[in-house]
Structure 1
Amino acid sequence: MESFEALQWIVDWLGNLREESDSFFEQALLWFAALYIETKIWVAEMAWSVASTIVDSFQIGNMVGSAFGGVNSTAMSYINYFKLVDCINVLLNAATTRFILSMVGW
């Protein structure tokens, strides 16, 4: 009778081992997925920072703002109302970020 109980204990342990290993692999996969996502976010933040620095150092926003200097006052009020200069600056930042990300290998 004791050998049957020992055999049953071994079978139960092997069954639990399979469930525990599945849980371990699920947890490891979740951890690696979270690490991968965190790394991607960090690289994107770094690329945005580099792109913003590049755009600021070339003073592209000021050039865009001065390009609208010859526009009449009515058109300039619409440009300021819709924040067209800020929009162009964000698009330039995005394009520069994309360039930096392509250099990183994205």
Structure 2
Amino acid sequence: MIGSDTSDTFSPLDILLPGIELGFYSEDDFEMLKASVSAGERKEENATLYEDTWKSIMAKTGVEQQYALLSVLEMGMENKVAFNCYVYQSETRKAAHF
């Protein structure tokens, strides 16, 4: 299951949550991201904190980690969605299926 038990919807944070168990980032990193989202990303005074927090999480989430998170999402959605993931190979200048 993806998302809250009490809601029919989920947020990008729900997609990133398994990254804690998978060891991609710490629970503290995730809680800081959650707090910055709650503070309101559109408020000018919080924009820098919001952006820096997202950058910190994404810096720890490479291609392999993103693929793993999407795989967890697929399973949580009971394989009702599918993702095609590609990685750019500079030596051949082509995208290869990941």
If asked which structure has higher relative contact order (CA below 8 Å, sep 6+), I would say 1
Compare the two structures and name the one with the higher strand fraction: 2
**Alignment TM class, shorter chain as reference:** under 0.3
TM-score, normalising length: structure 1 = 0.25
Which is richer in helix? 1
Bigger Rg, structure 1 or 2: 1
Normalised by the length of structure 2, the TM-score is 0.26
